[in-house]
Structure 1
Amino acid sequence: MSLDGKVAVVTGGARGIGLAIAQRLAADGAAIALVDLNADQLAEAETQLSGTGARVCSIAADISDRSQVFAMVESAAGQLGGFDIIVNNAGIAQVQPIAEITEDEMDRIHAVNVKGVVWGMQAAAARFKADGTRGKIINAASIAAHEGYPMLAAYCSTKFAVRSLTQSAAKEFAADGITVNAYCPGVVGTDMWTEIDRRFAEVTGAEIGATFDEFVGSIALGRPQTPTDVANFVSWLAGSDSDYMTGQAVVIDGGMVYR
């Protein structure tokens, strides 16, 4: 699918799913603004992506800070000469029994996973409207946006929120030709799942790797998901073939959660 001439912002783009998305959108022809907090990983990702011939810039930003998100969008548009797609991919996980979640922990995960998406949608929509662009807003949700999981309550609450925000924004922005959709991965072999597995072992006493293996064992297709599996679907959401789709949070998990 061609994204020639398009400019895409990908948050959390320095590694994992975000980097895979950036790589795929660049392969489709888009210019990419990589956004992340980790300056070293960001520089490495920019070097890697520019080495493929892609037009790319990197922007260090904290997505939980509204002013930084608006500045991020303006910087991307200025450096790359336009703005058509935002992938609100950045997020964090948390493994904690409900009874032990602290106020600081709850505030932090909602600041990143929920507020970060809200600020991203606001900034993108404002720029799309100002430019008269029929833009694409693509949010990172999860199977945890469709089903609650023990020990992951705070995380699930943020992803349920992203799902509802996606629906609301789709209805609000439709008149401007802006579509809003979300992708809902399952068990992806990334650093985030390594940390989830480690925390499950710490809290429950399970062996390292046991939680990951248990979740993978419930996947109908019989293997863990790769970042590329996710990126392939996001590519479709970013392209013109999905122009008539909005307000959806689509499960792409190899067959775990059926909705």
Structure 2
Amino acid sequence: MMQKVAVVTGGAAGLGKGIAQRLAKDGFALVISDFNQEALDATEQEFKAQGYKIAQFKGNVSIKADQEALAQKAVDSFGRIDVWVNNAGIESVVPFAEITQEQLEKVFAVDVFSVVYGIQAAAKVMKNQDTIGKIINACSIAGHESYEMLATYCAAKHAVRSLTVAAAKEYAKDNIRVNSYCPGVAATSMWDRVDAEMAKIYGWAPGEAFQKFSAGILCGRTEEPSDVGNIVSFLASSDSDYITGQSILVDGGMVFR
């Protein structure tokens, strides 16, 4: 039986690594991309020690040529691409009046341009295969709700949600499904940075922003990488073949649409 192949951007750490671990457990051969060579090497060694098939690619997701090279790496390594996860992303915490051109360009390059280029690179390969391809994007609760001090990040994630719908409509004829997962509050390095910046802006204590944002989660705890891995596992599987164009909230009960 042919082994399926998954690509995960930002797959060397955080939620991306959690996604990669779940897909490996599900039986996928993996290609992980990241800009951090040390993290790539460590994750690759860890996965190989567990018996998983994995290849790595160092690149910048905001550069079209790098995303195309990542797709080629997957084809060269394992012969195909069945699942592509546009996971890589960055945040921006700043009062609206202080948003700069540099911040806008950086966040949109990493969070939006990367999704466009990733979808294009993945679809180019998938449409020539005889199976249903799955493209899965990292959206966020910030793609459904907009938060103070996070305007740029929220705008970028709303863009991801829109791109997911548009791509789903255009690539349906090629037997490609395009969906997004929308996490809430997780104890990742990204949230550490958000917490630190909000502490500066509001004069809060370390950890206070994290506590305030997570206090009302109905399921009673913050997000774990495995929670995101679970929804991506579903979207990557044949169980989701009849789902496309959706941005699914997986936040423990924070945002309701």
TM norm. shorter chain > 0.5:
yes
Partner of 1:110: 108
Partner of 1:238: 236
Could you tell me which of 217, 222, 225 is aligned with 1:224?
Answer: 222
Could you tell me which of 158, 164, 167 is aligned with 1:166?
Answer: 164
Could you tell me which of 42, 45, 56 is aligned with 1:44?
Answer: 42
Partner of 1:22: 20
Letter in 2 for 1:148: S
Instruction: Kindly tell me the number of residue pairs found equivalent between the two proteins.
Output: 257
- Are 1:139 and 2:124 an aligned pair? no
* Cα separation, 1, equivalents of 2:56 and 2:200: 35
- Write the deviation string for residues 189-225 of structure 1: whole angstroms up to 9, x where unpaired: 1111011001101122111100000111010111111
SS of alignment partner, residue 130 of structure 1: coil
Could you tell me which of 173, 195, 219 is aligned with 1:175?
Answer: 173
How many Å apart are 1:228 and its aligned residue? 0.7
The aligned runs of 1:1-259 (5 Å cut-off) are 5-259=3-257
CA spacing shift, 1:11–1:64, aligned 2, 3 Å: same
CA spacing shift, 1:4–1:242, aligned 2, 3 Å: farther
How many Å apart are 1:146 and its aligned residue? 0.3
- Write the deviation string for residues 175-202 of structure 1: whole angstroms up to 9, x where unpaired: 1110000000000111110110011011
Letter in 1 for 2:172: A
- Write the deviation string for residues 19-63 of structure 1: whole angstroms up to 9, x where unpaired: 000000000000000100000001001111111111000000100
- Write the deviation string for residues 110-147 of structure 1: whole angstroms up to 9, x where unpaired: 00000000000000011112334421000000000000
Name stretches of at least 5 consecutive residues in structure 2 with no aligned partner: none
Instruction: Give me the identity figure in percent.
Output: 49
Letter in 2 for 1:63: V
TM-score (norm 1): 0.97
Runs of 4+ residues over 6 Å off in structure 1: none
Could you tell me whether the CA contact under 8 Å between 2:80 and 2:125 is conserved in 1?
Answer: no
Letter in 2 for 1:102: T
Which moves more between the two structures, 157-166 or 201-210? 201-210
Letter in 2 for 1:75: K
How many Å apart are 1:4 and its aligned residue? 6.6
Could you tell me whether the CA contact under 8 Å between 1:170 and 1:181 is conserved in 2?
Answer: yes
Which moves more between the two structures, 111-120 or 128-137? 128-137
* Cα separation, 2, equivalents of 1:129 and 1:221: 39
SS of alignment partner, residue 251 of structure 1: strand
Could you tell me whether the CA contact under 8 Å between 2:132 and 2:241 is conserved in 1?
Answer: no
Could you tell me whether the CA contact under 8 Å between 1:4 and 1:28 is conserved in 2?
Answer: no
Could you tell me whether the CA contact under 8 Å between 1:16 and 1:191 is conserved in 2?
Answer: yes
Letter in 1 for 2:91: A
* Cα separation, 2, equivalents of 1:248 and 1:49: 30
How many Å apart are 1:158 and its aligned residue? 0.4
Could you tell me whether the CA contact under 8 Å between 2:186 and 2:222 is conserved in 1?
Answer: yes
Letter in 2 for 1:60: K
* Cα separation, 2, equivalents of 1:144 and 1:95: 13
Tell me the C-alpha RMSD between the 2 structures: 1.1
